[in-house]
Amino acid sequence: MTGMPVLLALVLATAAMDDAPAPDAAVSLAEIETLLSQQPGAVELAWTRLSHHGLPRIEPIAGDNGRSRVTFLYKAGSEVTDVRLNSVINAVRVDWPVEDFNRDFALPMQRIAGSPIWRLTLDVPRDVQASYSFLVTGPRGTRRVSDPRNSRRLRGGAAEALLTLDRAGDLSPLLPVPPYRLPEGQMRQIESEALARPVMLDIHPAATGDADAPVLILYDAFNWGERAPAWEIVHNLAETGRIPPMHVVLIDQLDPASEHSRYADQTAFIADELLPWLRAEFGWRLAREDVLLGGASRRGLSAAITGLTRPEAIGTVVSLSGSFYWAPPDEAPEWLARQLGEAPAGAPRFQLAAGSLEYVVTSTNQGHVMLETNRNMAQALTAAGYETRMRIYPGGHDIAAWRLALADSLQALYGPAD
């Protein structure tokens, strides 16, 4: 007789499962809200049905062919008091100006029917690729959490999840490359008098081993080494014949104090220390026209200053979301665009890019937003006689979009003329 209650419970549970919609059936948020309102204890059932096919949920918008409806969901512990979405796609919703990131830009998520499941829905352009994470606040403070139900993510430990919509473009340059197909990279250190510190370099020779191959020098070895390996992007493009094989050199970081010298210390490091060292150490020829210097944000600004002030050393500048709003103290914004003289013979060419979502006014840019200041810089360069291309990539101030922007920029530089 002791087995009868257990048997009865199994029968009742089976009947309940038969009555419940199958996990594969489409479930609306309204249905889940109704379920949790009627059965507050059905959190696990609700979560299983919501996340069965992975997250975030992406749905078409009736009558809107340019955007998708994206719903972010996160199941938190009972002690959590606040969950916010941390992503550049928040630009489609935030009010300006953004003075405090957590308060003004990280969007608050809402509980579903008072449950520990939090949600936020945004209508996002269908060509966007962006990283995102959740800022989760509890008794011990706020921590950043990647989306555990999204298998698409950046590289490296604790990497952010990726939102990739159906018009995100050609993702083939981003494919991982098995290490055995690439020359072994080297971590090297050089002492810099210009920067007054040792500089760590992450160096990846061209797959062909050609001493005459171009070199792509990028600031920020964390972004371009760990989160989005630039040498894999270069390899994938070169292997399919879209660009020539290239050496890739990653510089550890851009020194924050460099702005006090108007980035002249970075220029001296690149032109007078790094390039001669690479020639001597590796036997690379590195003719001026074969040297590409690039970076994103302030690093793009610094690369542009180096190209402008040392044109005999740099053949191409690749600036992604360059911080061209910047100005030294007591100078008006967009200072660099006002410093341009007539382009000299053999001047470097410029490949600029900025994101379609980089239009948010912040306390840093004071209304001189990335999208417009990059356009202004491109126009100023062109007017001064520099060969300049400006592209708008779908996305924001984010390595997820910069990866694609880098691939597009390299192809624009070496592919057929537009």
Numbered ranges of CATH 3.40.50.1820 in the chain:
172-414
Q: How far apart are CA 44 and CA 38, in angstroms?
A: 14
Pick the CATH number of 26-164 from 2.60.40.10, 3.30.1280.10, 1.10.10.10, 3.20.20.70: 2.60.40.10
**Residue 249: beta bridge partners?**
203, 217
Q: How far apart are CA 218 and CA 246, in angstroms?
A: 13
What is the fold of 172-414? Rossmann fold (3.40.50)
* Angle of the 29-38 helix axis to the 43-51 helix axis, nearest 10: 170
pLDDT tens, the chain, 418 aa long: 344 343 333 333 333 333 343 444 568 999 999 999 999 999 999 999 999 888 999 999 999 999 999 999 999 999 999 999 999 999 999 998 999 998 999 999 999 999 999 999 999 999 999 999 999 999 999 999 999 999 999 998 779 999 999 999 899 999 999 998 999 999 999 999 999 999 999 999 999 889 999 999 999 999 999 999 999 999 999 999 999 999 999 999 999 999 999 999 999 999 999 999 999 999 999 999 999 999 999 999 999 999 999 999 999 999 999 999 999 999 999 999 999 999 999 999 999 999 999 999 999 999 999 999 999 999 999 999 999 999 999 999 999 999 999 999 999 999 766 5
Q: How far apart are CA 215 and CA 269, in angstroms?
A: 16
Numbered ranges of CATH 2.60.40.10 in the chain:
26-164
Integer distance in angstroms from the first to the last C-alpha of the chain?
83
**Nearest Cα residue to 218 out of 190, 252, 186, 242:** 252
| Segment 203-244, tens digit of pLDDT | 999 998 899 999 999 999 999 999 999 999 999 999 999 999
